[in-house]
Amino acid sequence: MSKVIYFRDQLKRPLRDLRISVTDRCNFRCTYCMPREIFGPDHVFLPRSSLLTFDEIFRFAKVAVSSGIEKIRLTGGEPLLRKDIEHLIAKLATLRTPAGNKIDLTLTTNGTLLGKKAAALKEAGLTRVTVSLDALNQDIFAQMSDSRVSVETVLDSINQAGEAGLKPVKVNMVVRKGINDHQILPMARHFRGSGHILRFIEYMDVGDTNGWNMQEVVTGKEIIDIISTEFPLKSREAEHHGQVAKSWEYKDGAGEIGVITSVSQPFCGDCTRLRLSPEGKMFLCLFASKGFDIRAMLRSGASDQEIQSRLASVWGARTDQYSEQRGANMPTDGPKIEMSYIGG
Ligand code: SF4
């Protein structure tokens, strides 16, 4: 069992988390991520031939895990739309860190396909799951997701995932002022005591298509204040370095919630996340404009060592801290990547 030598970037942040987007397709059109007016019937998605195969994803992940990665999150678009994703999960679940530990293998989904797949995903080796749900009220849910899926479908999926052992199930709610902010308390009431962890996400200026403006942001502090009017809360210590959500727990023991405050209290200083796009580009920030291709190396017979040194040089040169610099008009390399392409 060898000691883990973490790759560190220019801000001394270790490489620990890998987010793998396995598709840019989704069956929702959430207005803050994939607005239909941009991602309409004529939108051209990535051709299948350009997507990394499961073997290529596994190979890159193996090299990344030997370079310090301890947690892998599968994202999209909607990752459960990728055919036979259980096969990829089964491969990734065989990975061990240099210290011999299992990796924390998780997935973010909109929940529409999760119900019937939960047991198979668990069987394949998935550790836990995060489900997006922006409202309990059907009309507001439809407005946020721009879909005709019923809230019941997603709620059933959350429970089935819990029953299948994909625990704790985390439920992510993106809050937009004037659209679903009055669903904060109904959501808190619903998930209190359920064992599922509800997390509130500040509306972010991801990509360049969601028409973001600061007036529509409900800050983490405002969300906590709203919930505290009915349910007293106390803050909790972060469980690990680089934890994204700030944790709180109900004083009456009814469980915990989280707030993700990328806008009001950025956390770039602890950001240990690398992202891999569906067609094999490495991105160093959710708000990046430029990616670093690794597919050509994977398809041209490069050795694991060569891929590892490419990873080391890309991460080593990283200085990204978009959220800390938001509004500072920092120079960019062009339009920001879309969240529906790179995942949250
Ligand atoms: S803005 Fe970029 S650097 Fe900052 S926490 Fe998010 S992904 Fe990390």
For ligand 1, mutation pick of 75, 212, 241, 273 (most atoms within 8 Å of CB): 273
Confidence check: pLDDT of 264 > 90: yes
From the CA of 271, how far away is ligand 1's center (Å)? 6
Binned at pLDDT 50, 70 and 90, residue 233 comes out as very high
pLDDT tens per residue across span 273-282: 999 999 999 9
Confidence check: pLDDT of 125 > 60: yes
Binned at pLDDT 50, 70 and 90, residue 243 comes out as confident
> Which residue, 62, 93, 75, 74, is CA-closest to 307?
62
Residue 320 CA, closest ligand 1 atom number? 3
Confidence check: pLDDT of 13 > 70: yes
The average pLDDT across 27-36 equals 97
Task: Spell out the residues 6+ positions from residue 137 whose beta carbon is closer than 8 angstroms to its own.
Answer: 151, 183, 186
Coil, strand or helix: which one is 199? Answer: strand
Model's pTM, two decimal places? 0.95
Backbone angles phi, psi at 176, to 5 degrees: -120, 125
Confidence check: pLDDT of 95 > 60: yes
From the CA of 163, how far away is ligand 1's center (Å)? 33
Binned at pLDDT 50, 70 and 90, residue 110 comes out as very high
Backbone angles phi, psi at 121, to 5 degrees: -65, -45
pLDDT tens per residue across span 67-80: 999 999 999 999 99
Over the chain, what is the mean pLDDT? 95
**Percentage of the chain surpassing pLDDT 70?**
97
Tell me: cis bond preceding 168? Omega within 30 of 0 counts.
Answer: yes
Give the integer Cα–Cα distance in Å for 317 and 104. 26
The domain covering 17-342 belongs, at the CATH homologous superfamily level, to Aldolase class I (3.20.20.70)
Confidence check: pLDDT of 257 > 90: yes
Binned at pLDDT 50, 70 and 90, residue 2 comes out as low
The average pLDDT across 265-279 equals 95
What's the first-to-final CA gap in the chain, in angstroms?
33
From the CA of 244, how far away is ligand 1's center (Å)? 10
Confidence check: pLDDT of 9 > 60: yes
Give the integer Cα–Cα distance in Å for 165 and 315. 34
Backbone angles phi, psi at 105, to 5 degrees: -110, 110
pLDDT tens per residue across span 160-176: 999 999 999 999 999 99
> Which residue, 272, 244, 278, is CA-closest to 79?
278
The average pLDDT across 229-248 equals 89
Confidence check: pLDDT of 310 > 80: yes
From the CA of 316, how far away is ligand 1's center (Å)? 16
Binned at pLDDT 50, 70 and 90, residue 20 comes out as very high
Residues with CB under 6 A from ligand 1: 262, 267-268, 271, 273, 285-287, 320-323
Tabulate helix, strand, coil % of the chain (nearest 5). 30, 20, 50
> Which residue, 317, 15, 28, 310, is CA-closest to 153?
28
pLDDT tens per residue across span 128-139: 999 999 999 999
Report residue 41 as tokens: 């019937």
Q: Is the dihedral of CA 107, 109, 112, 113 positive or negative?
A: negative
For ligand 1, mutation pick of 201, 241, 322 (most atoms within 8 Å of CB): 322
Residue 288 CA, closest ligand 1 atom number? 2
Model pLDDT, residue 62: 97
> How many other C-beta atoms are found inside a 10 Å radius of the C-beta of residue 104?
14
Give the integer Cα–Cα distance in Å for 209 and 218. 20
Binned at pLDDT 50, 70 and 90, residue 242 comes out as confident
CA 173 to chain centre: 12
Give the integer Cα–Cα distance in Å for 92 and 70. 12
